[in-house]
A and B are shown apart, each in its own frame.
Chain A
Amino acid sequence: MMRRWPAWLRSGRVLIGLTVVSAILFCAIFAPVLAPHDPNEQNLISTFVPPIWAKGGDVAYLLGTDSLGRDVLSRLIYGARVAMLVAVFASLGAMAIGAVLAYIAGYFGGRTDAVIGRAVDVWMSFPPVVLSLILMVGLGVGLRNVVLAIILVDWTRFCRVMRSEVLVVARKDYVAAARLLGFSHWRTIVREIVPASLPLLITLISLEMGIAVIVEAILSFVGMSVSAETPAWGQMIADARQYIYDSPWGLIIPILAIFLAVFGFNILGDGLRRTLDVRLTETQRA
């Protein structure tokens, strides 16, 4: 018999999302090979070169140059490194904290649940952008600190959503049956509850990656992210902002890059949610 693709790989949304995300990931990994120029190499003779398709474009600079004559394409490709690093590590980190607390809260319930729930409530009462700015001021700039700031802000999102899912699964009779058969708490969670909540977890991670890209862009836009010599999409927007009338492409191109990355993560997450969510697939089958 021919091996069939799993259902989630046959969904159009998932395929589109995977294509976009892996393309960006590819750029990030092979940036030194792909980029035609050094991203920080200045060519003060040819500043504000428009992209190749606009009037006055130069083949040497496919997407044009910025105010210091740096190649936009190269900066874009290198900027993907920051975006992807932040997306992957921040979302995995936020998941690690949020999901573990959610499993504990949802499974044990009672006082444990109340304490964790209140902590999440208090944490979420801080506006996320302000909180991350404060954290960045406290921690100082740098890639590691950006990741840390996003984790510290966004773990609550995982915790709250996962907790309600765990709560539902933990009430199932098969969880009680596992306990009666002598499963330890740890084994019950790992064998009975985690598999049931895995689809939601995967979906949340994918959505969180999109959010992390945006937050990183915001932070680098205000100069609170990576140091100035590391190209980042938010920085490119901030740099091009002053010359918006003379050279609009310098602004539009990084915005498009952010848009594409977030779109890719979101449509991937949405597609995964649709195909992996048991409740949705069950109603369709019925």
Chain B
Amino acid sequence: MDMLIAKDLTVSASLHGERVPVIRELNFSVAPGRVLGLVGESGAGKSMIGRTVAQLLPPGFAVTRGELMFDGQDLVRMPFETRRELLGRDIAFVPQEPLSGLNPVLTIGQQIDEHLARLDFGNRKVRRDRALEMLDAVHLTQGASLLGKYPHQLSGGMCQRVLIAMAFASRPKLLVADEPTTALDVTIQARIVQLIAELQRNEGTSVVFITHDLRLAAQICDEILVLYAGRPAEYGPARAVFSEPAHPYTRCLQLSNPAMSGARRGLYTLPERMPGLSAIKGIEGCLFAPRCPNVTEGCNAAPPPVIDVGAGHRAACIHPDRTAAIAAPVPAAIDASGLGTPLMTVDGLSKTFTTRHGLFQRSEFAAVKDVSFALHGNEFIGIVGESGSGKSTVARMLCGLERPSEGAVAIAGRDVSDDSAATRAYRRDYVQMVFQDPQSALNPRRRVASIVTQALEAAGTGTGAERLARAEALLSEIGLSPEMALRFPSQLSGGQRQRVNIARALCAEPRILIADEIVSGLDVSVQAQLLNLLLRLRRQRGFAMLFISHDLSVVRYLCDRVLVMYRGEVVESGPTAAVFDAPSHPYTKSLLAAVPPDDPSAAWAPRSRDAEPALALGAGL
């Protein structure tokens, strides 16, 4: 019998006194020992399913129709006490943010012990032995010393392992993993996912794996359910959904994700974005129709029926046969021909941070060691590496937010190493930065027009009307409507905010743009829009960019050259294609191997590195 069955599951939210279905008529089942992947962009309702299992719906949300059966019992209608007994024992959860999943004021040992005590694991001694066994099972060596540590002393990956160990402690029948690797580095993601798969196989656990990464889902899931605005778009065996997607949405998602192998292909850009709660009400037919490339008149008439398109493979589309015809656009040729004299040369750049402990002790940490490279006009250089590899520190030094400890930076032939006012003004004419988090990078009290024309304000040029005109011109250049000029950042979506963020830097007409993780945390469709925007802007305006990212596929799509950083050093650099096709440094190889391959049937064999525990312990001491 299936472990988890959703039958016509409908979750509604009350919006201005009206009930709007957030999840509508969802049908799926997870057999014992199988992994179901829930895939979709943010807002698709993926996490809502995990919350429905735990019955931890936000206020105003409720299951209004259908049922969710766990092991023959109705999770929605069972009494609170019964559910509480099930949760954490038969149904376990792995959260997205490992650090917030653990209590910061208790040691790892105390938290595991508390959990085991609840599961009636006998006395303290037995529980401690069991805790050590559990940590061993998630490949955390030195378990005994780990038990006395606090969560902040561990790396994100180690915290996530502790949480996985706790989740599997009770030999649960069902595990709900909500984006368990999104907050982690790619090399650690691979190991965490494999760990879940390993324990799942050993224990015969059913898993609901929530992710936005279609490639990752194709690797580890047996079945995949693609959600769009709370509606099932496609459901079927992972391989079939991935290799022969029947719903246009699945196909578009796939095509908007940059490829990791083969020839560089263009990115499909889905227009607009997923309808929100209030927009859903106004759409009569298929919710995807406004963005669908294959839309016909029939699509807008009525909601599409869910039809069979293969063995166990269903899709909610009235003409799935046309889906395969959707093709990625021909990529805009990357033109790195403008290489002449370098625009910016970086020579032996280093940064050492000094931390004081008490009066006399001090420790030094070399965040960046001897980084040298040259950036030419119109060239996009990608810097990749894990968190803590010094990527962001390089960016901050290049735009003058941080003073290098050693080394020299020259822009268009002039040395900009000193911190005089003249140098800063000179640097400002050439270099601008786009910050990672638009939430923090946009002043919430300024209107969009005032944000994007800050460069004019700084220079003291232009009247109010001139600035507004400039703002509107910039907005249309970055693909936003001029009416947005009078909005506040809080009234924009994540992707729109990031565009405003880019527009502000562009207003100063820089010749070099430094972009720090500007597409991380965005949905693939928004990411594709932004990447294509950057390429278009380069064609139209001409600028060079230093693009810092942990996402290798993005760098492969966007950048002409790539620098691989590991522990503050550049371990490999060269033309993107050369580095990706034939990596020479072992670290580059392990980084590349950690990315789930494009072809789901290809073996995914991330190399295990011992660097991670060593790093984390070093940080903890």
Q: Interface with B: A130-138, A180-188, A212-220, which one?
A: A180-188
A208 nearest CB across to chain B (Å): 24
Please name all residues of chain B whose beta carbon is closer than 8 Å to the beta carbon of A182 when the two chains form the complex. Answer: 425, 428, 455, 458-459, 508
B462 nearest CB across to chain A (Å): 14
Residues of B427-477 whose CB lies within 8 A of A: 428, 431-433, 435-437, 440-445, 454-455, 457-459
- Interface 0/1 of B367-408, CB less than 8 Å to A: 000000000000000000000000000000001110000000
CA distance A38 to B454 in the complex (A): 59
**Is A174 a contact partner of B433 (Cβ separation < 8 A)?**
no
CA distance A181 to B442 in the complex (A): 13
Please name all residues of chain B whose beta carbon is closer than 8 Å to the beta carbon of A196 when the two chains form the complex. Answer: 443-445
For residue B504, CB closer than 8 A to chain A, the reply is: yes
Please name all residues of chain A whose beta carbon is closer than 8 Å to the beta carbon of B459 when the two chains form the complex. Answer: 182
For residue A246, CB closer than 8 A to chain B, the reply is: no
Given A180-B432, A181-B428, A182-B458, decide whether A173 and B445 contact each other with a Cβ distance below 8 A: no
For residue A92, CB closer than 8 A to chain B, the reply is: no
For residue A228, CB closer than 8 A to chain B, the reply is: no
Partner of A187, one of B432, B436, B458, B508: B458
Residues of B207-224 whose CB lies within 8 A of A: none
**Is B458 a contact partner of A174 (Cβ separation < 8 A)?**
no
A252 nearest CB across to chain B (Å): 46
Partner of B437, one of A173, A179, A191: A173
CA distance A73 to B401 in the complex (A): 63
Report the nearest A residue to B424, measured CB to CB.
Answer: A182
**Is A195 a contact partner of B435 (Cβ separation < 8 A)?**
no
CA distance A180 to B506 in the complex (A): 12
Given A182-B425, A182-B428, decide whether A174 and B440 contact each other with a Cβ distance below 8 A: yes
Please name all residues of chain A whose beta carbon is closer than 8 Å to the beta carbon of B504 when the two chains form the complex. Answer: 177, 181
- Interface 0/1 of A263-286, CB less than 8 Å to B: 000000000000000100000000
Partner of B508, one of A179, A181, A192: A181
Given A182-B455, A182-B458, A187-B458, decide whether A177 and B435 contact each other with a Cβ distance below 8 A: yes
B69 nearest CB across to chain A (Å): 32
- Interface 0/1 of B501-512, CB less than 8 Å to A: 000110010000
For residue A18, CB closer than 8 A to chain B, the reply is: no
CA distance A196 to B443 in the complex (A): 9
**Is B401 a contact partner of A176 (Cβ separation < 8 A)?**
yes
CA distance A208 to B68 in the complex (A): 56
**Is B441 a contact partner of A177 (Cβ separation < 8 A)?**
yes
Please name all residues of chain A whose beta carbon is closer than 8 Å to the beta carbon of B435 when the two chains form the complex. Answer: 173, 176-177
Residues of A147-176 whose CB lies within 8 A of B: 172-174, 176
A8 nearest CB across to chain B (Å): 15
Report the nearest A residue to B399, measured CB to CB.
Answer: A180
**Is B458 a contact partner of A181 (Cβ separation < 8 A)?**
yes
**Is B445 a contact partner of A180 (Cβ separation < 8 A)?**
no
Q: Is the interface of B mostly helix, strand, loop or mixed?
A: mixed
A209 nearest CB across to chain B (Å): 25
**Is A172 a contact partner of B458 (Cβ separation < 8 A)?**
no
Q: Is the interface of A mostly helix, strand, loop or mixed?
A: helix
Which bracket fits the contact residues of B? 20 to 34
Please name all residues of chain A whose beta carbon is closer than 8 Å to the beta carbon of B401 when the two chains form the complex. Answer: 176, 179-180
B493 nearest CB across to chain A (Å): 15
For residue A143, CB closer than 8 A to chain B, the reply is: no
A79 nearest CB across to chain B (Å): 40
- Interface 0/1 of A188-228, CB less than 8 Å to B: 00011001100000000000000000000000000000000
For residue A120, CB closer than 8 A to chain B, the reply is: no
B295 nearest CB across to chain A (Å): 34
**Is A177 a contact partner of B458 (Cβ separation < 8 A)?**
no
**Is B437 a contact partner of A278 (Cβ separation < 8 A)?**
no
Interface centre among A182, A192, A195 (most CB of B within 10 A): A182
CA distance A181 to B437 in the complex (A): 18
- Interface 0/1 of A233-266, CB less than 8 Å to B: 0000000000000000000000000000000000
**Is A195 a contact partner of B445 (Cβ separation < 8 A)?**
yes
For residue A178, CB closer than 8 A to chain B, the reply is: yes
Please name all residues of chain B whose beta carbon is closer than 8 Å to the beta carbon of A172 when the two chains form the complex. Answer: 440-441, 443
Please name all residues of chain B whose beta carbon is closer than 8 Å to the beta carbon of A195 when the two chains form the complex. Answer: 443, 445
Partner of B441, one of A174, A179, A183, A278: A174
Please name all residues of chain A whose beta carbon is closer than 8 Å to the beta carbon of B442 when the two chains form the complex. Answer: 174
Please name all residues of chain A whose beta carbon is closer than 8 Å to the beta carbon of B433 when the two chains form the complex. Answer: 176-177, 180
CA distance A172 to B439 in the complex (A): 9
**Is A183 a contact partner of B443 (Cβ separation < 8 A)?**
no
Report the nearest A residue to B437, measured CB to CB.
Answer: A173
CA distance A151 to B478 in the complex (A): 51
Partner of A174, one of B399, B443, B508: B443
CA distance A182 to B509 in the complex (A): 13
B273 nearest CB across to chain A (Å): 19
Please name all residues of chain B whose beta carbon is closer than 8 Å to the beta carbon of A278 when the two chains form the complex. Answer: 444
Report the nearest A residue to B504, measured CB to CB.
Answer: A177
CA distance A180 to B431 in the complex (A): 9
**Is A181 a contact partner of B444 (Cβ separation < 8 A)?**
no
Report the nearest A residue to B434, measured CB to CB.
Answer: A177
Interface centre among B433, B441, B454 (most CB of A within 10 A): B454
Interface centre among A181, A183, A187, A278 (most CB of B within 10 A): A181
CA distance A46 to B400 in the complex (A): 79
B250 nearest CB across to chain A (Å): 30
Report the nearest A residue to B454, measured CB to CB.
Answer: A181
CA distance A174 to B436 in the complex (A): 11
CA distance A181 to B444 in the complex (A): 18
Report the nearest B residue to A174, measured CB to CB.
Answer: B443
- Interface 0/1 of B476-512, CB less than 8 Å to A: 0000000000000000000000000000110010000
Report the nearest B residue to A278, measured CB to CB.
Answer: B444
Report the nearest B residue to A178, measured CB to CB.
Answer: B454
CA distance A179 to B396 in the complex (A): 13
CA distance A174 to B504 in the complex (A): 11
Please name all residues of chain A whose beta carbon is closer than 8 Å to the beta carbon of B440 when the two chains form the complex. Answer: 172-174
Please name all residues of chain A whose beta carbon is closer than 8 Å to the beta carbon of B508 when the two chains form the complex. Answer: 181-182
A191 nearest CB across to chain B (Å): 8
A123 nearest CB across to chain B (Å): 24
Please name all residues of chain B whose beta carbon is closer than 8 Å to the beta carbon of A174 when the two chains form the complex. Answer: 440-443
Report the nearest B residue to A286, measured CB to CB.
Answer: B58
**Is A183 a contact partner of B445 (Cβ separation < 8 A)?**
no
Report the nearest B residue to A169, measured CB to CB.
Answer: B443
B451 nearest CB across to chain A (Å): 8
Report the nearest A residue to B427, measured CB to CB.
Answer: A180
CA distance A196 to B445 in the complex (A): 7
Please name all residues of chain A whose beta carbon is closer than 8 Å to the beta carbon of B455 when the two chains form the complex. Answer: 181-182
Interface centre among A172, A177, A191, A195 (most CB of B within 10 A): A177
CA distance A176 to B443 in the complex (A): 11
Given A182-B425, A182-B428, A182-B459, decide whether A177 and B444 contact each other with a Cβ distance below 8 A: no
Report the nearest B residue to A196, measured CB to CB.
Answer: B445
A228 nearest CB across to chain B (Å): 50
CA distance A257 to B158 in the complex (A): 61
A170 nearest CB across to chain B (Å): 12
Interface centre among B399, B400, B432, B443 (most CB of A within 10 A): B443
CA distance A177 to B510 in the complex (A): 14
CA distance A173 to B444 in the complex (A): 12
Report the nearest A residue to B441, measured CB to CB.
Answer: A173
CA distance A174 to B433 in the complex (A): 11
CA distance A180 to B430 in the complex (A): 11
Please name all residues of chain B whose beta carbon is closer than 8 Å to the beta carbon of A187 when the two chains form the complex. Answer: 458
CA distance A11 to B506 in the complex (A): 41
CA distance A123 to B435 in the complex (A): 40
CA distance A278 to B490 in the complex (A): 12
Please name all residues of chain A whose beta carbon is closer than 8 Å to the beta carbon of B505 when the two chains form the complex. Answer: 177
A180-B400, A196-B443, A196-B444 are known contacts; what are 6 more A-B pairs with Cβ within 8 Å?
A173-B441, A174-B443, A180-B428, A181-B455, A182-B459, A195-B443
Residue pairs across A and B with Cβ atoms less than 8 A apart, 7 shown, are A172-B440, A176-B401, A177-B433, A180-B432, A181-B454, A187-B458, A196-B443
6 A-B pairs with the lowest CB-CB distances in the bound complex, closest first: A182-B458, A173-B441, A173-B435, A173-B440, A174-B443, A181-B458
